[in-house]
Structure 1
Amino acid sequence: MASLPSKKPRKEKSSTKSPKKRDEKGNNKPQTLDEVRKLGNDLLSSRAHLNNLPDLLSFISPSPHSLEFAVEAMISLQSFFVPLLSEMKSTGDDQDPETVFKSWLKERFNEFMRSLVQEAVSSETDETLKEIVLEAFMDIIKLGKNGSFQYDFYRNLIKSIASCSLQIHSASPIDDLLNLLQSKIFKYADVRYFTYTSMEKIVKSIDTKETETKMPTSDSEEQLKFRNEIAIRNAYSVLSSLPPLDLGPEPNFEMWSENGISSKETKMSTKPSTSVITKKLKLKFTKAWLSFLKVPLPLDLYKEVLATLYQNVIPFMSNPAILCDFLTRSYDIGGVISVMALSGLFILMTQHGLEYPKFYEKLYALLTPSVFLAKHRAVFFQLLDSCLKSSYLPAYLAASFAKKLSRLALSVPPSGALIIIALTHNLLRRHPSINFLEAEEEKKDADSGEVNESIDDAKETDCKPRKHKKRPGIDPFNNDETDPVKSNAMRSSLWEIDSLRHHYSPAVSRFVASLENDLTIRRRIKQVPLAFYRTTPISLFSESDFPGWAFQSQPDENKIENGIEMINNAEEIDQTNVKRPRLES
């Protein structure tokens, strides 16, 4: 980003006028653009015109001044302060005139930086002026302190963004500024690093006693709660505006300041490697998000965070397992919050070794008709299918989920019924031990005279059909039971899926019929070949396996006594009706 041009004397005139105003001393303020330029030219030419600083600063603070006045004053002030940044540090006796001058000059510079921040976050600032102000502010951040990032001033900008709505009551007062930061500033690694550092400290100050003491005593508790909520929303807007970290094998970290990640908080004598930068960024990223997730989030923001946490936060944390408390607490809440917390919790369980003994019990409790109307139901059902994919899933759990889903098929819309049919089909294919639930549905009445092949086929597999006697028309499955162990699903059947063949929606009836045909074909496959031989083998071992031995005999299936196979010589085998090749000795 190019810095603003240096101030140069100009002779052209302008008819642009500002309303007549008087300063604190009663003097008339500049009324034309030429007069503002003259103030800047005089300030740059001699110290004798230092009193022009307050006049120029007055045109930068949020006010109804024209764009030309503000830009002209800002160019003059930036051109004046930038060369003096390294000289503003006051040293020596407080009574020394030079020291007093530097202190005064530093106060005016701080006032200039505060004016830039106020102009940047103000909702009354023109969008073009806001972009120019941001460029001037970030250029000073880069040029000061011998190329080191001036973190203190930048933190004031981020802090003002997070708290600007405490004074400006509008729907989204910081959107324009965040869009500018996102497109031009946040792409730099050091800017992101110091943004995370600032957000960690800012979020920690929200909803604390320290914050309450700073509020006016006349504010009610509701007003304080409202202001903290706005600050939390702004903090989330800042965090979500930052681009994701580059975790590739060779990340390209572009720095805004000359020294990169270095300030009062990070002293580095040499430029760090990309691996060190990645580690530091992930650490600051983790601390900032952990601090944010500890504050009381509004319900709608809570849902939004959970919906994006698994994609935008977990992959970039230094240790994602530390989110287990937040996610398990969210998962235990129930309802839609639990549904949205499932994504992050599933990632921690499958990729980061999190143990959650009651996971399937909580997941079973989430299967209600309302989940089919949830906003993020598509992601939920994809995760549900992944959670039930493991071959180590006990048969009673697979049966409970299959039965619970099939019961829901009777009360959900057709789109939900299609999802249930697919999920149940996957359960039956992945877990053969519960195939008897579906096999019972294909059993025909004895009066019809049809042969029940499905039950016979099921008995020949590793499934174990029910051995109890069930009263006709009675389903022992307890649909109101939240514990899958006590649901009695193993004693029931998937009659609900069978009833979908007569569903009023043709799509549902056709889909369930096609999947039932697929399961029927798979059950009729009783065995598979274990090996393939181009020619019929005539001996258990080949001669090459035992040098010096010859295997000239082969078994005769017609001569077996007491499990001991009788072996004949080659001549006797040759006399049998079975035509097989001989082995020559």
Structure 2
Amino acid sequence: MPVRSLPPPTKRRKTTVESVSIKSLEAQLTSAVTDNGTLNPLADLLMLAHGTSDAREMSKAVYSIYRVFVLIISRGMLVHGGDDAAKQVRKWIWEKLDSYVELLVGLLQDEEPALRKSSLEILFSLLKHLSTSLTKSAPTPQPQFHLSHFKHIVHGILLCPPSPRSKGSSKHDSKTKLDVRENFVEVWFSVYDDIRWCFLREATTVLSKYSSTEYPQLLDNLLSIMEKLSTFPTDQSELSAWWVEELGAKPPKHKTAKGDTEEEDDPEPVDENDEDDWRKFFDEDSNVKDTKKPSIKARAHTLTFHQSLHSLQAHRAVFTRSWLNFLPHLSSVSTSSNRALTTRALNIMHRGVLPHLTRPVLVMDWISACVDLGETVGLLALNALFTLMRDYNLDYPSFFTRLYAFLHRDVLHLKHRARFFRLTELFLSSTHLPATLLASFVKRLSRLSLNAPPAAIIMIIPFTYNILKRHPALMVMIHRTEDNTGTDTDPFIAEEPNPNSTNALDSSLWELHSHIHHYDSAVSTMARIFAEAFTKPGYSMEDFLDHTYGTLIETEVRRKIKKEPALAMTLRKDLFPMSDVVNADDSVSGRDVVSEFWVFG
């Protein structure tokens, strides 16, 4: 068999492509699109982009391909129609576009920040061009959103495929790059209503389709975006920003089951023959009168895509569904990372999630399960639970019993004790709470203060003072004068888990009184406030929550000495009694008692 004198076809093709510059390939494609010529150089340009490892060359290739595809899209070459040859060409162009989008999605995880930023901007620019082209070619005059392209963007942000320039890496286990996430949130997610609505819907699909064990950073990536959302609309008039400008047009009025056009001010239609739909579960109660600006009032599951984008109810529905699908993933596996994610989710639950849910009580079961985890997670869950009780009429009779269970020794020694006192003051702020319940809390804290660090005692004393001032019925606990009050005769039942059955109101706060002899002057001074008249206004707890050993020592060091302490100026030789006589040379002849004090065992 004769030896081949030419390289294999693939290698020969690659050598030819490398000899052609990116600029010349772009010029050929530009003239080909204008003159309906061949688009084969597009494959060569994509090959150059996929094969280069230099960031500068990659950037040139990416922008060249982008300009070519914008020209192709604007000339309607991706619009349906034509003969079989046109369909084959269109199919081939779509394959190249998918390859280009795959390249851009991978570059979102590239090491070069400029490539990451430009790739994200190009992806969203293509989304706008593709959606506009889809709108122009639609058989009905309705604005369109190119969902298939947007899915690639969402997958790139949440699943994080590796960069094509990182050779040998094929795992999707990376976190979204910080600059990519911040750029996406600040420029698109928090600004444009259509991007936010579509992202929340697609994120729900991603959660149900991809496992968090196969993609360990999926939950973290999604929460990092959702917790940054601070511009969720609360009024119909706030739905006014659109990335795809055609979607800003007012949608047609919703039609009822009878075929009549529904006016905006008409009551909501009822369709008795409508099939069951998951979106019905997230619809708001139609009996609640909305005094705000009228919007499309039909059920969210009966609206078209365009109508949903202009319906505040539909935005709340997709927001609710995304959170209800996300939260169970945090509790499915009890790991340290999931526990940290749970803490982050609970941190924003009361202010960033519950107000925007269609029915906030839907998350009650998950929040109640988090309470059982205890520590910081349980405390934050109690905060969310308290919000449900106060603002959304949730009936949870055992709330204060669960809160009372958090009063154990560790809560005064852990780093989150300041958060505990801040939230506990909020929970016990009502003047309608029974005195028996409040007495159990102040007595329990008083008992725990006996072995608490000084910084924790400084929090307990003003906390107790505020409760006593707010509830005069508890003043009897500091005015009892029995001398036999102590741990042996105290009627308080420390082991009782029910705060209504501890007999705390029959006891006294002798533990706090004992702190007037505390070694720390700040604690002893604070403890004396219970012996004075309760004429002072309540203390601001924020002034006492940041104390630590460091701040206490710093305060003592900076304290000015007004009176010099008494010092012994002469050495007394008979300070320690000796068994033998001291010689004239001040040397001990016999047993040294002082040295024996330091012999252990």
| Corresponding residue for residue 201 of structure 1 | 205
Equivalent residue letter for 1:152: S
| Corresponding residue for residue 88 of structure 1 | 78
Of 68, 73, 85 in structure 2, the residue corresponding to residue 97 of structure 1 is 85
Q: Is the 8 A contact 1:162 1:234 kept in 2?
A: yes
When residues 48 and 473 of structure 1 are mapped into structure 2, their CA distance, relative to the original with a 3 A threshold, is: closer
Q: Is the 8 A contact 2:173 2:215 kept in 1?
A: no
When residues 364 and 165 of structure 1 are mapped into structure 2, their CA distance, relative to the original with a 3 A threshold, is: farther
Q: How does 1:172-571 map onto structure 2 within 5 Å?
A: 172-186=175-189, 187-207=191-211, 225=213, 227-247=214-234, 251=238, 253-260=240-247, 267=304, 276=311, 278-297=312-331, 298-440=338-480, 443=481, 474-519=489-534
Equivalent residue letter for 2:43: P
Q: Is the 8 A contact 2:440 2:505 kept in 1?
A: yes
Q: Is the 8 A contact 1:123 1:173 kept in 2?
A: no
Of 3, 11, 23 in structure 2, the residue corresponding to residue 37 of structure 1 is 23
Deviations 1:478-500 (A, max 9, x none): 22332223323133211111112
SS at match of 1:386: helix
CA distance in 2, matches of 1:279, 1:364: 39
Q: Which TM-score applies when normalising by structure 2?
A: 0.68
Task: Report how far residue 75 of structure 1 moved.
Answer: 2.5
Equivalent residue letter for 2:490: D
When residues 65 and 246 of structure 1 are mapped into structure 2, their CA distance, relative to the original with a 3 A threshold, is: same
Task: Report how far residue 148 of structure 1 moved.
Answer: 3.2
CA distance in 2, matches of 1:472, 1:127: 65
Task: Report how far residue 347 of structure 1 moved.
Answer: 0.7
Deviations 1:125-174 (A, max 9, x none): x2112222222211111122236332221122112322226844776453
CA distance in 1, matches of 2:9, 2:522: 79
| Corresponding residue for residue 590 of structure 2 | none
When residues 62 and 347 of structure 1 are mapped into structure 2, their CA distance, relative to the original with a 3 A threshold, is: farther
CA distance in 2, matches of 1:112, 1:118: 10
| Corresponding residue for residue 105 of structure 2 | 117
When residues 433 and 77 of structure 1 are mapped into structure 2, their CA distance, relative to the original with a 3 A threshold, is: closer
When residues 384 and 243 of structure 1 are mapped into structure 2, their CA distance, relative to the original with a 3 A threshold, is: closer
CA RMSD of aligned residues (A): 3.3
Equivalent residue letter for 2:382: L
Equivalent residue letter for 2:115: L
| Corresponding residue for residue 59 of structure 1 | 48
Equivalent residue letter for 1:177: V
When residues 151 and 248 of structure 1 are mapped into structure 2, their CA distance, relative to the original with a 3 A threshold, is: same
When residues 358 and 53 of structure 1 are mapped into structure 2, their CA distance, relative to the original with a 3 A threshold, is: same
Q: Flag the structure with larger Rg.
A: 1
Q: Is the 8 A contact 2:343 2:377 kept in 1?
A: yes
| Corresponding residue for residue 145 of structure 2 | 149
Q: Is the 8 A contact 2:490 2:507 kept in 1?
A: yes
CA distance in 1, matches of 2:422, 2:470: 16
When residues 133 and 169 of structure 1 are mapped into structure 2, their CA distance, relative to the original with a 3 A threshold, is: closer
Q: Is the 8 A contact 1:197 1:288 kept in 2?
A: yes
SS at match of 1:439: coil
CA distance in 2, matches of 1:335, 1:108: 53
Equivalent residue letter for 1:163: L
Q: Is the 8 A contact 2:227 2:348 kept in 1?
A: no
| Corresponding residue for residue 298 of structure 2 | none
Task: Report how far residue 364 of structure 1 moved.
Answer: 0.3
Question: Would you say how many aligned residue pairs link Structure 1 and Structure 2?
Answer: 453
Q: Is the 8 A contact 1:36 1:69 kept in 2?
A: no
Task: Report how far residue 520 of structure 1 moved.
Answer: 7.9
CA distance in 1, matches of 2:179, 2:424: 39
When residues 76 and 92 of structure 1 are mapped into structure 2, their CA distance, relative to the original with a 3 A threshold, is: closer
Q: Is the 8 A contact 1:40 1:73 kept in 2?
A: no
Task: Report how far residue 81 of structure 1 moved.
Answer: 4.5
Structure 1 portions without partners, runs of 5+: 1-20, 208-223, 446-468, 523-585
CA distance in 2, matches of 1:515, 1:472: 20
CA distance in 2, matches of 1:204, 1:174: 23
When residues 510 and 253 of structure 1 are mapped into structure 2, their CA distance, relative to the original with a 3 A threshold, is: farther
Q: Is the 8 A contact 2:173 2:216 kept in 1?
A: no
Q: Is the 8 A contact 1:59 1:73 kept in 2?
A: no
- Aligned residues with identical type, % of pairs: 26
CA distance in 2, matches of 1:67, 1:361: 63
Q: Which TM-score applies when normalising by structure 1?
A: 0.70
When residues 191 and 62 of structure 1 are mapped into structure 2, their CA distance, relative to the original with a 3 A threshold, is: farther
CA distance in 2, matches of 1:181, 1:471: 62
When residues 101 and 179 of structure 1 are mapped into structure 2, their CA distance, relative to the original with a 3 A threshold, is: same
When residues 230 and 249 of structure 1 are mapped into structure 2, their CA distance, relative to the original with a 3 A threshold, is: closer
Deviations 1:95-114 (A, max 9, x none): x2222222222222222222
